[in-house]
Amino acid sequence: ALKSRMDELLPLIPVLEQYKADAKLVLQFKAEATNLTAVLAELQEEIGPFDYEELLARVSNLENRLRACMQKLGRPQIARLKWLTRN
């Protein structure tokens, strides 16, 4: 009776081992999610009160200002700046 019961339970050992491995993986995912949440909170704090649309507008404004500066400098000065930044 005991031998037959042991024979019935024997196939469950690999299932139990897989369950342990899966449980460990779930714990790792939870730790990574907690870490990611902390990193995202830090980023949100750094960004401050700006939402995505405001940040996009600020980036666009900076790009426009950069283009305007490049036009004011003209081509020879830009080429010279490129040469200076390489050396």
Which run of H or of E encompasses 2? helix 2-9
Which pTM value belongs to this model? 0.46
Domains in the chain: boundaries: 1-48, 50-87
Q: Report residue 69 CA to chain centroid gap.
A: 33
> Which sign, positive or negative, has the C-alpha torsion 37, 42, 47, 48?
positive
Yes or no: say if 28 and 21 are a contact pair by the CB < 8 Å rule: no
| pLDDT tens track for 3-16 | 998 999 899 999 99
| pLDDT tens track for 33-70 | 999 999 988 888 887 777 778 888 988 998 888 888 77
The three-point CA angle 50-65-72 to 5° equals 170
In sequence order, which ranges of 48-86 are alpha helices (DSSP H)? 52-86
